[in-house]
Structure 1
Amino acid sequence: METVIVLSRLQFAFTVMFHYIFPPLTIGWGSFSPIWKRVTTSPENRSLPPLPSSG
């Protein structure tokens, strides 16, 4: 019975950590990516490296 409680707490801790870390990262990346794309494609900033593509 005690192992079930420990495993349940570990599962809950993993779920909380996952939902605490990944949504802010994806929201931040979603707002940063178009800004960086605009900066790197503007004619006066051709020396900046482009972001790596994911696809």
Structure 2
Amino acid sequence: MTQRIFFAHANGFPSGTYRKLFDSLAPDYSVTCLDLHGHDPRFPVDDNWQSLVQELL
């Protein structure tokens, strides 16, 4: 059974930057990524990152 990992990075690199890492986790893990976290104007970066929490949900 494959376990799922949800990956949300905390830097300016797109999730695809980590593809080699994600591929190395297969077949035991399936990685789902949030690309460009913190770049959506609907979820601005604010104190305590509350808007970014909403983006993840």
Q: Larger radius of gyration, structure 1 or 2? A: 1
- After TM superposition, the score normalised by the length of structure 2 is 0.24
Question: More strand per residue: 1 or 2?
Answer: 2
* TM-score of the pair, normalised by structure 1: 0.24
The structure whose residues are more often helix, as a share, is 1
